[in-house]
Structure 1
Amino acid sequence: MPSASLLDDATLIDRARRIRVLALDVDGVLTDGQLYFQADGVEIKAFHTQDGLGIKLVQQAGIEVALITGRTSPMVSQRATALGIAHVHQGRDDKLAALEALCRQLGLSLDQASYAGDDLPDLSAIQQAGLGISVPNAPVYVREHADWVTERHGGHGAVRDICDNLLAAMGNWPGLLTTYSSTEC
């Protein structure tokens, strides 16, 4: 069963049911927020495999996924390609402007967008999205403005928490369990 945090609030469930695009910050949400550099200066990032499956599941349920990040990294492009994420906005300091542009491109309102972030550049997007989400590793002054804070930290399954809860709010969770369950041993 996914984290009950979002599912305990009827208002948040209603808002989650309207979501048609899930926009994610990268560093601190999709990763643990640490920056890793090899001796030759090449940046590397670690991504959680459970987050990847969660992203694929919400995409199959008809939710677009987007990455909006202030940094620019080839690793982000590679991960997005591997997950089939078509909307990748790197080098974007104004996350709300990027989210608004994404919504216009998709013909959606901000009420149909969810945004997950972990720091001050994410704050306006968290506040204006139909469902603003943060992670426990975000500063308190960011978390207090989110509609919901995941149980798991960024880079450690937080995105999977988001995806599972969105799927559950949409009523897709029982079908997914049946799909992945087996009575054969």
Structure 2
Amino acid sequence: MFLQKIKKITAFVFDVDGVLTTGDVLAAESGELLRTFNIKDGYAMQLAIKKGYQICIISGGQGQAMQQRFERLGITDIFLGVGDKVAVYHDFVSRHQIDHTAVLYMGDDMPDLKVMQLVGLPVCPADAVPEIRAVAEYISPFEGGKTAVRDVIEKVLKVQGKWYDPNPLAVDSGK
């Protein structure tokens, strides 16, 4: 069943804190909250975009550095400071005319629960909260911010025969 669902995926939607980051934040003297991102996750995201997949970021967190990181990877659907993730998700799939069964969503905490119940393939990192783990159809063996995103993108692209990039560039993951 899991492999059948992977074959249908054309879009990825990711939370940020706890999925693309470890969930740790460093509070700078300026008041900005600083996060670290994994380069391998970045490589997988930009490759998925090159191969024609839609990627959407929906996060309650915000910051100019986050926005710039995702833009550098080629992501155009970036929604930060979001209170209602369901409304943003519905807008994303509607604008791109994506069937819900073709969406993989990775979340890690309670604000992700309702969206995860709408998508074709709800997944989570290994360190997600129990309620999220209960609705996830796949739990990555990797924690958030430690290649859980790479794990799910790689699985989808490999099953669909699109993982290999004959001309990978070193700048693709870090841009």
* TM-score w.r.t. length of structure 1: 0.86
The answer as to 2:146 corresponding to 1:153 is no
- Contact conserved, 2:58 with 2:82, CA < 8 A, in 1? yes
Q: How many angstroms apart in 2 are the aligned matches of 1:88 and 1:41? A: 22
CA distance in 1: counterparts of 2:13 and 2:71, whole angstroms: 16
1:148 partner letter: Y
Normalised by the size of structure 2, how large is the TM-score?
Answer: 0.90
Query: For 1:81 and 1:151, how far apart are their aligned partners in 2?
Result: 27
Tell me which structure has the larger Cα radius of gyration.
1
Corresponding residue number in structure 2 for 1:55: 45
Matches within 5 A, 1:104-143: 104-143=94-133
Deviation at residue 96 of structure 1 after TM alignment: 2.1
Q: For 1:93 and 1:170, locate their aligned partners in 2 and report how far apart those are by CA, in whole Å.
A: 34
1:23–1:116: 8 Å Cα contact kept in structure 2? yes
Q: Give the residue type in structure 1 aligned to 2:43.
A: L
Cα separation, 2, equivalents of 1:95 and 1:169 = 28
Contact 1:100 1:110 in 2 (8 A): no
Q: Is the 8 A contact 1:57 1:163 kept in 2?
A: no
Letter in 1 for 2:110: L
Q: Secondary structure at the match of 1:29?
A: coil
What 5-or-longer segments of structure 2 have no aligned partner? 169-175
Aligned CA distance change for structure 1 residues 66 and 177 (closer, same or farther; 3 Å): closer
Alignment partner, residue 183 of structure 1: none
Distance 2:112 2:131 in 1: 12
Match of 1:95 among 85, 89, 92: 85
Q: Is the 8 A contact 2:8 2:101 kept in 1?
A: yes
Structure 1 counterpart of 2:7, which letter?
Answer: R
What is the identity percentage for the equivalent residue pairs of Structure 1 and Structure 2?
29
What are the Cα deviations for residues 104-158 of structure 1, in whole angstroms up to 9, with x where unaligned? Answer: 0101121111111000000111121111011111111211111111111111111
Tell whether 2:16 aligns with 1:32: no
Q: How many residue pairs are counted as aligned between the two chains?
A: 168
Q: Structure 1 residue aligned with 2:71, among 69, 74, 81? A: 81
**Larger deviation: 90-99 or 110-119?**
90-99
CA distance in 2, matches of 1:97, 1:17: 26
Q: How many angstroms apart in 1 are the aligned matches of 2:60 and 2:86?
A: 12
Give the aligned partner of residue 171 of structure 2: none
Structure 1: where are the runs of 5+ without partners? 1-10, 181-185
Let me know the Cα RMSD of the aligned residues.
1.5
How far apart, in 2, do the equivalents of 1:109 and 1:100 lie? 10
2:82 alignment partner, SS class: coil
